[in-house]
Amino acid sequence: MRYASIDLAMDETLTRAAIDVSGRPFLVWNVAFSSPKIGTFDTELVREFFQALAQNAGITLHVTNHYGANNHHIAETCFKAVARALRVALERDPRQPDAVPSTKGSLKG
């Protein structure tokens, strides 16, 4: 299908992930953590993971945390929202199972 977005709620947290499997890597990251660590895990590594994912997978990825108080929930909703959006974006359109989802006939940038 190529495109997908999802809002994912977990307790007090709401995060949106939007994806374009385009061959043009880009990350828009609108997520803030109130602490530099979740236990012993550096919260800055969450963004680094999604930056590497977007670059290496060749996807345009937008992640926005609308609100949340618990840093663990914020990080978890980022991962789960991106995973669910990716699943939808990578599904074949059953109406056009052999079509490339692009007007240019290619997903290369």
In a domain, 11, yes or no: yes
CB 92 within 8 A of CB 1: yes
Q: Is the pLDDT of residue 97 over 80?
A: no
Q: What is the pLDDT of residues 2-26, one digit of tens each?
A: 999 999 999 999 999 999 999 999 9
In a domain, 27, yes or no: yes
Looking at the 3D structure of the chain, how many domains does it have?
1
Domain holding 7: CATH number? Answer: 3.30.230.40
Q: Write down the pLDDT at residue 100.
A: 59
- How many other C-beta atoms can be found within 10 angstroms of the C-beta atom of residue 95? 6
Q: Is the pLDDT of residue 109 over 70?
A: no
In a domain, 72, yes or no: yes
CB 61 within 8 A of CB 50: yes
Domain region containing 27: 3-89
The angle formed by the CA atoms of residues 101, 105 and 107, to the nearest 5 degrees, is 65
In a domain, 97, yes or no: no
Q: Is the pLDDT of residue 98 over 80?
A: no
Q: What is the pLDDT of residues 64-87, one digit of tens each?
A: 999 999 999 999 999 999 999 999
In a domain, 95, yes or no: no
The residue-averaged pLDDT of 20-34 equals 97
